[in-house]
Structure 1
């Protein structure tokens, strides 16, 4: 098993933290931008892309602040987290992504998030 590299990316998003939290923490919100469809049973979230299912466990969440998931098939401590950060002075809202990728898949991993967040911004009507 090779060690994955942790990476973090920040995206400024024009949205209220409450609305944004809804899009990152609920099956209906996530299915608008993150996957084709999302179902949940308790802490288990089932993400569907092109008919293929991937299961993730909701590890932690704090209302209007963050969600942290772990893919079920991962046998290591990897997770992915979406954290909402509000600048105290400007009140700008950012979505701070933490994820892990193999070294040779790092750029791909970042690009994937950029595409996903671009979809999220479209859904939110954010620039």
Structure 2
């Protein structure tokens, strides 16, 4: 098994942390932008894309601040995290993504997040 590379990517989002948190932490919010459909049973979330289902466990969360998931089929300690960061001075709100990808899939993984977050901004009416 090759080691995956951790990457971080930040997006400025014009929305309140409270609203943004709803979109990153709830099945109904996540299904608006991240996957075609999302269901959850306690901390296990089922993400559905094009009819294929992938399950992730919510490892940690803090209201209006972050969520952290791990894909069930991964047998390593990788995870993906979505953190809401508010700039103390400007009050700009950012969504800070941490994820892991194989070295040859790094650009693709980043592009996927960029596309998904573009959908999120569209849903939020953010620029």
Q: How does the TM-score come out when normalised to structure 2?
A: 1.00
Cα deviation for residue 121 of structure 1 reads 0.2
- After TM superposition, the structure 1 = structure 2 runs for residues 21-36 of structure 1, keeping only pairs within 5 Å, are 21-36=21-36
Q: Name the counterpart of 1:90.
A: 90
SS of residue in 1 equivalent to 2:45: strand
Shift of 1:82: 0.2
Alpha-carbon distance, 1:85 to partner: 0.0
**SS of equivalent residue, structure 1 residue 32:** coil
2-structure distance, mates of 1:17, 1:23: 10
Q: Which residue of 2 aligns with 1:43?
A: 43
Whether 1:105 and 2:97 are equivalent positions in the alignment is no
Indicate the residue corresponding to 2:125 in structure 1: 125
- Tell me the TM-score normalized by structure 1: 1.00
**How many residue pairs align between the two structures?**
127
SS in 1 for 2:22: helix
1:3 is aligned to 3
Unaligned runs of 5+ in 2: none
Structure 1 runs (4+) greater than 6 angstroms displaced: none
Distance 1:72 1:123 in 2: 28
- Whole-Å separation in 2 of the counterparts to 1:68 and 1:15: 20
What is the aligned-residue RMSD (CA, Å)?
0.3
